[in-house]
Chain A
C-alpha cells in the first residue's frame, strides 16, 4: 500500500529552527515534494527532492533518504508568517504520469 506519515501539529518560537519529518511507503518513487498551505488557501510549492541529500532554498531546506523512506523540511529563522500546514507529498511510479500522494499535513504554529 501507500502511506505517508507526518506529525499532526508542532509549535515553535519566532526566530528558532524547526524540523518537520515525513516517512513514506509507496510503490515506486519519482520524487518527494513539500507544500505550504495557509489556512483557507491553496497549497504552494516549497521544494522537490529526488536524490538523497539536502536541498537548500533560502530559509527552507529539505532532506531525503530514499533507503529509509524519510524526508524532513527544515525551517530556519522562523517568522510569524510561517504559521501554516506543511504537506509532504510523494510521487510514486505511475506509468509516466506525474501523480502526488499527500500526507495529512503538519500544522505549525509559530509563537512570538
Chain B
C-alpha cells in the first residue's frame, strides 16, 4: 500500500513570498490533516478535512494560510505571504473515518525555510 505522498520535500523562500505544498493521502482515507512542526516541538494541527469539507481549522492563521481538498482526495496548503516564523516542517497525514483507534499515517513532510 502506498503511503502519504508530499511535495516538495524542501523549499526555501524569502519572507513575503508565497508557497504551496501538495499532499496525496492513502487511498480510501477520508480524513486528511495538515500539521506544522516547528523544530523541537510536537506537530500542531492546522486544518482537518473530512472528505472535501473542513471539520477543524481553529489553529489555521487564516490571514495568510489557506488549504483546500478538491474532490476529497489531494490537498494543497498555501502560505501567502510567508513570515520568518513560518519556517517549519509541514506534515500531511491521513486516516480512516470515525472515532477510536484511528492511526494517522504521516507523509515525509515539507521542510520550509523562510529567509
Contacts and interface: CB of A to CB of B under 8 A. Distances in A.
Physical interaction between A and B: yes
Interface of A: 4, 30-31, 33, 41-45, 48, 50, 87, 89, 91, 94-105
User: Contact residue range for chain B?
Assistant: 20 to 34
Nearest to A45: B103
Given A42-B107, A42-B108, 5 more contacts: A4-B42, A48-B101, A91-B99, A98-B31, A104-B42
Give the interface SS of chain A, mostly helix, strand, loop or mixed. Answer: loop
B34 interface: no
Interface of B: 31, 40-45, 48, 50, 55-56, 91, 95, 98-109
Contact of B91 (A42, A50, A99): A42
A47 B98 CA distance: 18
Give the interface SS of chain B, mostly helix, strand, loop or mixed. Answer: loop
Contacts of A94: 56
Given A30-B99, A44-B106, A97 B43 contact: no
A97 B45 contact: no
A95 B105 CA distance: 21
Given A31-B101, A98-B31, A105 B45 contact: no
Contacts of B91: 42-43
B103 to A, nearest CB: 5
B89 to A, nearest CB: 9
Contacts of B106: 42-44
